[in-house]
Chains A and B, each alone.
Chain A
């Protein structure tokens, strides 16, 4: 039995204790990768490379697996999100009741397409495949609160409350900044010193 020493967290941030607690709860089992990443994202808002490194080393799985999981599932994001999130449901029921119009309306105000954040970093626009709130189509989620039977005007009003981007009479607002998918550098392998993906 090779003795295993758990690595220390990437920083002194106290929030790592929450992540450690989840890992302890699952006995540092390699199959708990997704559960732990959920905790990391809940705690820090996104998964950065330090966090992925730390999780991989603690659960004794290759970093490639953690990175693979983080990029495979839609729920995880590798970039910090804006101050507010606006999720538009694009499930079938919402699509039939005009989810596309909602997305167009948000883009009109912020210039951000789904997966982007407005230039001032205030609003991240996301889409969900189905919120399971089909009875309330078209549905959206503002900062975690579900809104029912949303109209383009209502969503515009909400987004205006968050952002300072003013619609000019002529011309569109500035483009959004992509926040997903990840475009960061390929992760470096911590096991072999000095060897990077570049």
Chain B
């Protein structure tokens, strides 16, 4: 595949698309698909054939548009409209409305479902780099991706740049790891590039084991535009000198796996994977590896163990994977979203990327807005946007007229940010100062009907069952912390318990071997910091301000109950 051949394919594909007067895109990411958007597409295609419009209307399946709770979503690209909640019965009306000019909604009366303009606030306030093409192209067709400039960067890099120049561009962009820790990507790449490998072999792993409950951007990226991730992997492999890549993807994401498989086959067929890519001496192959439902395998050393077919137990670092990783060779591990950022950076230059975002956090971030919020879905915004704008302008505020209480970011390793910090600009540092972390980008919004102690208990229960058991502070600490939180919500705790809880938090934070244990206390610490009065109400007044906790043991002899609970945790799990 040379530049000319690629340009030819691009041109042919663009011409093919220009033939059509109207484009109708049906979202087929897993959210809409489970609401049967495939039937919607079928119905619309049938309708087009019936009306003999096959030459002027193009119906295609696309990836995520971002409004996941309102599915199935249909985008009328040429009219600039997004329609929510479409059923197969609406097909006829949709085709009819194409004929009508857009004139303030006369044509829209034909179709049920909300109509959102593509120039409405939800779309215009976003800045899309990673999700730029998602919702516009068919994830199963490599030609679609090539038509929007895909795989250009790979050929540019291979034929015109040296690995050092690529790393320089990534370093200049200021991109930081999107998996949560925010480690500078350029620095990581140069470490792997410099690392010595006795056999000359190096590996690159794409971490698609998205374990955070409440975050699903990686899944969405893989389902909407897998080629962008593959392209990022090829560029990364060239930059660090890796000959083999792995995508470690959750087995719970069958659709993402299926689309990845198709994308890998196509990339191979077009000569972007395999031997002598782009007519150069560079060779690179990618293999899929499935996760098997462990949260800890998101940690890089545990992930390496898992890719090697072992139990996912983390190792002491150093040596870092960049020096000695998979099979003892230098290994570059990047998150899906990090890799998806690479092709645009190469295409537009690192300086362009560095202009977006804040001083220390560059670029954009995809957030998943879930929980008690009107527009549940995915948004991509420049880093540094105030939390209030994300939640109210993009998320549409809190439903049912309730009030905002807190937003939980960073999953089980993150914390809660209360209403008083709503004007916080969202970036790596500011979230850390507020006692939370960026994490993989899940934002779980809670209203006044959510009990913060209960939320802390939920996350601690998660860490308790997901702890791998290698180190004692985490294995035993999470069980005991969870037991104390149980006592608090059961109404048998005393104020001494609260001191013990804080003590345990400090211990787990400082003595655990990996990030899971070190960050497991975060949800507890942050709720204690901002919502201590709720804990007090639970312990001293046996009252749950939100009315969630049941206090099923309140009033029993506390001391006896204590012993019993301790005995239980001593023998269980």
Contacts and interface: CB of A to CB of B under 8 A. Distances in A.
Contact of B34 (A61, A97, A148): A148
B370 to A, nearest CB: 4
A31 B444 CA distance: 37
Interface string B198-216: 0000000000001111111
Contact of A134 (B68, B250, B306, B459): B68
Given A132-B253, A134-B68, A135-B377, A92 B292 contact: no
Interface string A39-72: 0000000000000000000010100010011001
17 contacts: A33-B310, A35-B290, A69-B309, A73-B311, A75-B252, A92-B458, A93-B370, A95-B213, A96-B455, A130-B216, A134-B216, A135-B69, A136-B31, A136-B69, A137-B370, A146-B30, A146-B34
Interface string B460-494: 00100010100000000000000000000000000
Given A96-B446, A146-B34, A69 B290 contact: no
A130 B30 CA distance: 14
B338 interface: no
Interface in B305-347: 306-312, 327
Contacts of B377: 135
Contact of A75 (B210, B292, B459): B292
B450 interface: yes
A15 interface: no
B289 interface: yes
A76 B292 contact: yes
Interface centre among A35, A97, A130, A135 (most CB of B within 10 A): A135
Contacts of B327: 31
Interface string B209-252: 01111111001000000000000000000000000000000111
A136 B327 CA distance: 40
Contacts of A97: 371
A1 B19 CA distance: 63
A131 interface: yes
A182 to B, nearest CB: 15
Contacts of B554: none
A76 to B, nearest CB: 6
B292 A38 contact: yes
Contact of A93 (B210, B214, B219, B293): B214
Contacts of A148: 31, 34-35
A34 interface: yes
Contacts, number: 138
Interface of B: 30-31, 34-35, 67-69, 71, 210-216, 219, 250-253, 289-295, 306-312, 327, 368, 370-372, 376-377, 408, 411, 442, 444, 446, 450, 455, 458-459, 462, 466, 468
Interface centre among B30, B213, B368, B455 (most CB of A within 10 A): B213
A31 B311 contact: no
B294 A135 contact: no
Contact of B293 (A30, A91, A129, A146): A129
Contacts of A32: 309
Given A93-B444, A129-B462, A135 B290 contact: no
B373 to A, nearest CB: 10
A30 B294 contact: no
Interface in A139-193: 139, 145-148
B30 to A, nearest CB: 6
Top-6 shortest CB links A-B: A135-B68, A73-B292, A91-B213, A33-B309, A146-B34, A74-B293
Contacts of A30: 309
A74 B290 CA distance: 13
A167 B68 CA distance: 36
Nearest to A71: B311
Contacts of B459: 92
Given A73-B293, A73-B294, A132-B216, A34 B309 contact: yes
A96 B371 contact: yes
Contacts of B442: 92, 134
Contact of A31 (B308, B312, B408): B308
A75 B442 CA distance: 23
A96 B311 CA distance: 31
A135 B292 contact: no
Contacts of B219: 132
Nearest to A145: B34
A36 to B, nearest CB: 9
Nearest to A144: B254
B372 A134 contact: no
A181 B211 CA distance: 21
A130 B310 contact: no
Interface string A122-135: 00000011111111
A131 B306 CA distance: 20
A151 to B, nearest CB: 15
B464 to A, nearest CB: 12
A135 B376 contact: yes
Contact of B213 (A31, A129, A136): A129
Contact of B251 (A72, A75, A136, A146): A75
A158 B74 CA distance: 29
